[in-house]
Amino acid sequence: MRIFSCIQPTGRKHLGNYLGAIRGYVEGQDRGDAVYCIVDLHALTVGPDPAELRRSLYDTTAILLAAGLDPARCILFRQSDVREHTELCWVLATVASYGELSRMTQFKEKSAQHKQFVSSGLFFYPVLQAADILAYDTDEVPIGEDQKQHIELTREIAQRFNARFGETLVVPTHRIPPVGARIQDLQSPGKRMSTTASTEQGAVYILDAPGSVQRKFRTAVTDSGTEIVRGPDKAGITNLIEILSVVRGVDPAAIEREFAGLGYGAFKAAVGDAVVEYLAPVRERYEKLRADEAGLEATLADGAAKAHAIASRTLARVRAAMGIGAPG
Ligand code: TYM
């Protein structure tokens, strides 16, 4: 079984990325043939500074390795190193409709955020994402809930392609964790924790200092009640229960029982301590990995060679099926 997913190199990775997705990438190494990609071409859609983009790519690579991705057990590579992604993006753009791309929630949100200049790359973003996935004959894509619509579009594109050109592409499914698929902002618990939309206090970054993590949880917005239970009118407390449940590896109901009768203050402090402890090994391993840029480059180059070998075979099938390129 092929497991494939990607992550953006922009900005700092946060607890939502970790609990919703990175955790699933690490587990994927034990469950199948795992391939992971850092999508610098997607990052270009919002015009990052070039030097900053390169730094962020190394930061993200080191975070993934520190979190437990093992180049001996998975393929880890940089999207722009494997040219097949852009070629497949173009051919799939001829199969995806303008209407369905216009309906993508993330396009609508991001184009509202970047009002001065909405690149057409931002519009094409989900097609490149479909190309990433379909180039690897992917069976399963570990993701957080916010990416579900993009995977549904990918399935739609693959099915339409196969119906028009014959069975060529594997139709993937998403794998969304039962708890932790949508970690909310600590200051605005009605909103998803996000690199671009969250404030400094609202997002917990994987590399935050322990004191800062504890402070962010201590000041997390909750409600005027007193009960530590999940509920539709208790977005803040529900989020904290879910975070603690994932970090401890227990059911959310077990957390509710354990903290019944305790005050919000003590609960928030306990969640902060548990998250600090959970992230500590990642923070410790990160510094050494990040300091060795040549080592990171070597890992990415090795990953790109292996990724290219897979993607080029898919592209050969796609070209033949569509009648482009030299025959045979
Ligand atoms: P990115 O880099 O924004 O996010 C990486 C992963 O983190 C998940 N995630 C969350 N999970 C739980 N709670 C949150 N608050 C939260 N915020 C983010 C995301 O769902 C994602 O799984 N478009 C993708 C990158 C991409 C991709 C792909 C993903 C490009 N091509 C192919 C899968 C397959 C993105 O922006 O991820």
pLDDT of res. 185: 98
How far is residue 163 from each of residues 168, 175, 315, measured CA to CA in Å? 9, 25, 17
pLDDT of res. 328: 73
Residue 248 pLDDT class (50, 70, 90 cuts): very high
7, 22, 64, best to mutate for ligand 1 pocket (most atoms within 8 Å of CB): 7
| Cβ proximity of 2 and 136 under 8 Å | yes
CA of 265 to the centre of ligand 1 (A): 31
> What would the mean pLDDT of 260-281 be, rounded to a whole number?
97
* Residue whose CA lies nearest to ligand 1 atom number 7: 17
- Residue 222 corresponds to which tokens in the numbers above? 């909750």
* Residue whose CA lies nearest to ligand 1 atom number 29: 6
Phi, psi dihedral angles at 94 (to 5 degrees): -80, -10
Would the pLDDT of 307 be above 70? yes
pLDDT of res. 11: 59
Which atom number of ligand 1 is nearest to the Cα of residue 147?
20
- Residue 11 corresponds to which tokens in the numbers above? 């900005």
Beta-ladder partners of 142:
175
* Residue whose CA lies nearest to ligand 1 atom number 27: 6
pLDDT of res. 327: 87
Q: How large is the greatest C-alpha to C-alpha distance in the chain, in angstroms?
A: 72
Residue 259 pLDDT class (50, 70, 90 cuts): very high
* 29-38 per-position pLDDT tens digit: 999 999 999 9
Burial of 114 (C-beta count, 10 Å sphere; 0-12/13-18/19+): middle
Pocket of ligand 1 (CB under 6 A): 5-8, 16-17, 20-21, 39, 42, 129, 132-133, 141, 143-144, 146-147, 150, 181-183, 192-194
pTM: 0.97
CA of 143 to the centre of ligand 1 (A): 6
pLDDT of res. 240: 98
Which atom number of ligand 1 is nearest to the Cα of residue 192?
15
128, 143, 153, best to mutate for ligand 1 pocket (most atoms within 8 Å of CB): 143
* 9-24 per-position pLDDT tens digit: 975 899 999 999 999 9
- Residue spans per domain, the chain: 2-175+293-322, 210-287
Q: How many angstroms separate the CA atoms of 140 and 270, rounded?
A: 34
CATH number for the 2-175+293-322 domain, one of 3.20.20.70, 2.60.40.1180, 3.40.50.620, 3.40.50.360?
A: 3.40.50.620
Judged by DSSP in three states, 34 sits in strand
3, 5, 15, 17, best to mutate for ligand 1 pocket (most atoms within 8 Å of CB): 17
* 155-169 per-position pLDDT tens digit: 999 999 999 999 999
What does the DSSP assignment read for 178-237?
SSSSSPBPSSSTTSB--TTTS-TTT--BTT--HHHHHHHHHT----S-------TT-HHH
pLDDT of res. 305: 98
> What would the mean pLDDT of 179-204 be, rounded to a whole number?
95
Which atom number of ligand 1 is nearest to the Cα of residue 8?
2
How is domain 210-287 classified at the CATH fold level? Tyrosyl-Transfer RNA Synthetase (1.10.240)
> What would the mean pLDDT of 239-268 be, rounded to a whole number?
96
| Cβ proximity of 67 and 283 under 8 Å | no
CA of 145 to the centre of ligand 1 (A): 8
**Percent of the chain residues topping a pLDDT of 90:** 94
> What would the mean pLDDT of 62-71 be, rounded to a whole number?
98
Phi, psi dihedral angles at 140 (to 5 degrees): -140, 135
Closest CA relative to residue 77, chosen from 315, 321, 262, 296:
296
> What would the mean pLDDT of 286-290 be, rounded to a whole number?
96
The mean of the pLDDT values for the chain is 96
H helices present in the chain, as ranges = 15-17, 23-31, 40-43, 50-67, 84-93, 98-102, 105-113, 120-134, 148-165, 210-218, 235-248, 252-259, 264-291, 293-322
